[in-house]
Amino acid sequence: MAQKITIRILERQFPLTVESPVQEKRIRDAAEKVDEKYYEIARQYPGRSTDEILSFVALNAFVEAAGLEDEIDRQRKEEESLHARLKGYLKNIDTEK
């Protein structure tokens, strides 16, 4: 069931519609992280415009997402390798009987 919510990012309000409590939590958590990262970068680079800082926030988010995708790929390959080894081990057990 869709529900209307309002989130705040940098003291601005944004009305949104969410489909579930899980989605609402993700969105609220993400908005909070945007604020945190914005103020962190603003302290590191005083004098930068809001647009520049938000560009850095977006860049950081996508770099982090790319790192997570790489980790998922690594874990998937490891899982496939372990599965193949287990399959071979079980096949050897069957042939030893």
- pLDDT tens digits, residue range 47-60? 999 999 999 999 99
Q: Residue 95: what pLDDT?
A: 75
Distance CA 91, CA 84 (A): 10
> Cβ(37)–Cβ(29) under 8 Å?
no
Q: What residue ranges of the chain have pLDDT lower than 50?
A: none
Distance CA 82, CA 77 (A): 9
pTM score > 0.85 for this model? Answer: no
Alpha helices in the chain (DSSP H): 21-44, 50-96
